[in-house]
Structure 1
Amino acid sequence: MEESTLFYSSLALLFLFLAFNLLFQSKHRHENLPPSPLSLPIIGHLHLLINPPLHRPFLQLSKKLGPVFSLRLGSRLAVVVSSLSVIQECLTKNDIVLANRPNLLLSKHLGYNHTTVVSAPYGDYWRNLRRICTIEIFSPNRLNKFHGIRKDEVRRLLLKLCHNSREAFAKVELKSMFTDLILNNLMRMMAGKIYFGEGVSDDGEAKEFRELIAEVVEYSGAGNPADYLPILNWAGNYEKKLLELFKRMDGFLQGLIDEQVLKKAKAEIDAQVGEERLIDESDIAKLPYLQNIMSETLRLYPAAPLLVPHKTSDDCTIGGYNVPSNTIVLINAWAIQRDPELWDDPSSFKPERFESESKDHGHKYLPFGMGRRACPGASMAHRMVNLTLGSLIQCFEWKRVGVEEIDMTEGKGVTMPKVEPLEAMCKARAILHKDLYRAA
């Protein structure tokens, strides 16, 4: 009994010695680090990751500590940036240093050991992947070849909505429909299969896939404590819960709820497209207000509020502070896109701001990132969202379920899914009877 007690006491002392030694060395190895809030022994600031979404407490910390602050997440140093000028410094002056990604459990097990275009380290291999994506997947020619798939999936969505709303307003749950739309579009592009929607909703494979995706979203992002303190992985079994990541489309319909925005968008579509045929991708260029709605939605509700984490491959300076190599850098795009110093009335939904403000707003508009590691699929996302949004506005009348505002509270996950599924009342317009059912 005494030997066992002595063993565990020695082990505990050794662990504490190593921990304090590591802390002492790290403090003296790197001077002039960004300011940091008070931390806890061993875990550092991991307790801040317990209650996502992270971008909101990060914004509050930036108001206290400044636009650049550091966190000690277990054994790893992280720097959080919430200033446009510093972000530009990160992604322009230091773009090569910050062109890497941190080695997270998600990219290790679901990214084929960090070999995908999103998670691969910066270098020749990643450049080849990026070139393949640009030429073979997201080029205008390739996107045009998949135009029929996107058009067909939007038609399937319109038919489903129309079934219960031909004569009067009907309550519809849109979250699952948008999930079906996006996943069907991706699966048809990749495998030529339809897994979701009418006729396959009860299919065992499709049901399992949908459940896996929901779980992946919950455990993805930069807020997984097991990435920073390995013992949590052993205790919580996080690695076995990591599954393939798909982006979710959920928040962009907020613009549909504003009556005046809807009327203006509908008038633009009716004037440019007419009421005898459905909107097509070729019409989008003639619909600037529709594009502004999409831009404003992605400003308020970016798909990834903290973007995909970066990692320094060498020592650099960020915002006047020294940042050592192998540091995780998180870009709070959500905070930048709601910064009152950059945007007029930033919390309000105003598509018109993309008309009245300078057209050169790309430097502060970051839903797809910036620099070398910007999202290569941005052009496909623009086409899909604009076509879907335009079709929903053209083919249906929309209103809220009740008098309450839509609950936009964010849940867990890299893609900021809503806690409450989006529900609205829709009623089919006459154009569906003229075109959609005739085509069907």
Structure 2
Amino acid sequence: MELAVASLSPISIATLFIFLFISHYFFQKWRHHQKVGNQQKQAISPPGAWPIIGHLHLLRKAKLPHHALATMADDYGPIFRLQLGTRSALVISNREMAKEALYHNDAAAASRPSFYGMKKFSYDYALFGLAPTSHYWREMRKIIISHLLSNQRVDMLKTVMFSQIEMSLNELYDAARRSNESGGVSVEMRRWFRDVALNTVLKIIMGKRCVGPNGCDEDAAKELQKTITESFRIMDGGLLSDFFPLFGWLGLDRDVKKIEKIAKRSDRVLQRWLEEHRRKRSGCGSLSLDTKENGDFMDSLITLHDRNKLPTCFDGDTIIKATILSMISGGTESTMVTLTWAISLMLNNPHTIEKAQQELDEIVGRERRVNESDINKLVYIQAIIKETMRLYPTAPLIGPREFLQDCMVGDYFVSKGTQLIPNVWKIQTDPKIWPDPFEFKPERFLTTHKDVELKGKNFELLPFGTGRRGCPGVAFALQMEQFILAGFLHLFDVKNMTSELIDMSERYGLANEKVTPLYVLVSPRLPSHIYA
């Protein structure tokens, strides 16, 4: 067979490839129509689909796919179908359809689509959040919810979280004090928020702080963070192989190879940290297993592995590294994105900074720092976080799902294997639910929308998703974001460096980042002894 292929001319090989490609496309289309048969009607499919690629060109030419899909929803309604290469997708764009698809059909739409880039990045889907529905996914979901992110465990972690954030605030004060600038020290907030989140998450996950003056492994931490960012950027619009699997089978997608190289780099860091952790544990023989399990997250996972309580689908080291990677990537990127947008929105609406600091001065005062008991009382700070996530959700289309079985969404038949794309950004800016939907009004969450929560029970606000595939770290993420924002605004004044509004351009991807850096002037606002 290899000899026969080698003897073909380049033109013959190209002709064979095109034939296979077109044959695969029409086979998939025929199979879909056979499956639908005489079933009930399907949702509308917008015009403009091209042969082979379907509607891909409509999304590829759009800088912000969630905006392009929102425009389609205005024209074709809150539920419609797209053909994305060989994949069929169902897009939902309002609260009612979100409830239909994500609540009434939660079990039917509980899987994840198979993407080549995700597979390489996630240790062949050992990273449970990207894994398809399976015994492994169910077992890991139980372990993470019960052992790592339970309400009791999150409460236990508050002291560690707060101490790490306090350390970062102290370092920022030292930088501001040393600065000779009269208006304060210039700080790039996106980088600062990322470092704060990374240090906090690493301390909780692995027991050590890595970035900054008090860090112990800065090069490795920054290398891991770099691999996560690079992976997100490559996978932001999907790889060619994701829409045309034939390219992946034949090894013709260069981006897949890039992801493979990035994954090897991140694995080297994670493997080294895991080996260091095991050596540290072996030197603490007097500690009981329970003591080790109640340590950092890596301790807990190693203990579960030693007790044979991890699934057997992958080797223990792979499961531990994949789980740690999931928590680091999810915990740092989402926090950085949300807080960067929050400060940007507040600088463009200065009265919100004044109102937040007034609340802090009333609840906390100016003679002590924010502590964990204050957070639940800081309702305006909480409202700022909610309003930021409403306008700029970290994942505007959240994680795509895949239907495990045929079902009905509303009045429409959806076949097994269809990808589900909830346009959360469109849902969260629906003028029927949110008056003045594109204005930054945290006050709405203290008045008209005070009962709307972020935990997936209100289908008009779903930045963390909902149901079986909802983010299990909601409580952890909110706690960290609220305390970082409250601590920062309490200790520092923040000002725009120019008279112009902050540029709010978005870079769409797995994390919906602000395009331009956010440089601001930061200066202490409380008496000097408070920072000691």
Deviation at 1:52, TM superposition (A): 4.0
Matching residue's letter, 1:89: E
Do structure 1's residue 254 and structure 2's residue 344 form an aligned pair? yes
Alignment CA distance shift 1:18-1:337 (3 Å): closer
Tell me, which stretches of 5 or more residues in structure 2 are unaligned? Answer: 1-7, 264-324, 453-457
Deviation at 1:19, TM superposition (A): 3.3
Counterpart secondary structure, 2:80: strand
Do structure 1's residue 185 and structure 2's residue 200 form an aligned pair? yes
Distance 2:234 2:159 in 1: 34
Given candidates 221, 238, 244, the residue that maps to 2:255 is: 238
Given candidates 369, 373, 395, the residue that maps to 1:304 is: 395
Do structure 1's residue 42 and structure 2's residue 52 form an aligned pair? yes
Deviation at 1:230, TM superposition (A): 3.0
Distance 2:13 2:395 in 1: 47
Distance 1:7 1:203 in 2: 49
Counterpart secondary structure, 1:326: coil
CA contact (8 A) 2:97 2:410 kept: yes
The match for 2:444 is 353
Given candidates 115, 120, 129, the residue that maps to 2:140 is: 129
The match for 1:390 is 486
Deviation at 1:334, TM superposition (A): 0.9
Distance 2:232 2:12 in 1: 45
Counterparts of residues 24-173 of structure 1 (less than 5 Å)? 24-27=30-33, 29-30=35-36, 32-37=41-46, 38-50=48-60, 51-166=62-177, 168-173=183-188
Counterparts of residues 373-388 of structure 1 (less than 5 Å)? 373-388=469-484
Alignment CA distance shift 1:15-1:388 (3 Å): closer
User: Aligned residue pairs: how many?
Assistant: 435
Q: Which segment is superposed worse, 415-424 or 48-57?
A: 48-57
CA contact (8 A) 2:401 2:420 kept: yes
Distance 1:11 1:298 in 2: 45
Counterpart secondary structure, 1:33: coil
CA contact (8 A) 2:387 2:441 kept: yes
Do structure 1's residue 267 and structure 2's residue 358 form an aligned pair? yes
Counterpart secondary structure, 2:493: strand
Matching residue's letter, 2:252: A
Deviation at 1:357, TM superposition (A): 1.1
CA contact (8 A) 1:69 1:81 kept: yes
Matching residue's letter, 1:34: A
Distance 1:418 1:83 in 2: 25
Alignment CA distance shift 1:163-1:96 (3 Å): same
Distance 1:287 1:9 in 2: 66
Q: In the TM superposition, what whole-angstrom CA distance separates every residue of 1:130-158 from its partner, at most 9, and x where no partner exists?
A: 22222222223212332233223322332
Tell me, which stretches of 5 or more residues in structure 1 are unaligned? Answer: none
The match for 2:466 is 370
Deviation at 1:95, TM superposition (A): 0.9
Deviation at 1:255, TM superposition (A): 4.2
Q: In the TM superposition, what whole-angstrom CA distance separates every residue of 1:290-319 from its partner, at most 9, and x where no partner exists?
A: 111111111111111111111100011223
CA contact (8 A) 2:494 2:521 kept: yes
Distance 1:344 1:63 in 2: 17
Deviation at 1:48, TM superposition (A): 3.4
The match for 1:174 is 189
CA contact (8 A) 1:78 1:329 kept: yes
Counterpart secondary structure, 1:284: helix
Matching residue's letter, 2:55: H
CA contact (8 A) 2:431 2:437 kept: yes
Q: In the TM superposition, what whole-angstrom CA distance separates every residue of 1:330-356 from its partner, at most 9, and x where no partner exists?
A: 111111111111101110111110111
Do structure 1's residue 195 and structure 2's residue 210 form an aligned pair? yes
Distance 1:17 1:214 in 2: 37
Deviation at 1:162, TM superposition (A): 2.2
Q: Which segment is superposed worse, 289-298 or 147-156?
A: 147-156
Alignment CA distance shift 1:124-1:292 (3 Å): same
Alignment CA distance shift 1:303-1:132 (3 Å): same
Compute the TM-score of the two structures, normalised by the length of structure 1.
0.91
Deviation at 1:110, TM superposition (A): 2.7
CA contact (8 A) 1:80 1:330 kept: yes
CA contact (8 A) 1:188 1:194 kept: yes
Do structure 1's residue 416 and structure 2's residue 512 form an aligned pair? yes
Alignment CA distance shift 1:78-1:222 (3 Å): farther
Do structure 1's residue 316 and structure 2's residue 407 form an aligned pair? yes
Deviation at 1:10, TM superposition (A): 6.2
CA contact (8 A) 1:107 1:114 kept: yes
The match for 1:23 is 29
Counterparts of residues 204-223 of structure 1 (less than 5 Å)? 204-221=219-236, 223=238
CA contact (8 A) 2:90 2:419 kept: yes
The match for 2:312 is none
Distance 2:501 2:217 in 1: 33
Deviation at 1:434, TM superposition (A): 1.9
Q: Aligned residues: percent identity?
A: 33
User: RMSD in angstroms over aligned alpha carbons?
Assistant: 2.5
The match for 2:320 is none
The match for 1:276 is 367
Deviation at 1:116, TM superposition (A): 3.1
The match for 2:282 is none
Q: Which segment is superposed worse, 49-58 or 85-94?
A: 49-58
Distance 1:224 1:350 in 2: 37
Deviation at 1:13, TM superposition (A): 4.7
Distance 1:8 1:165 in 2: 62
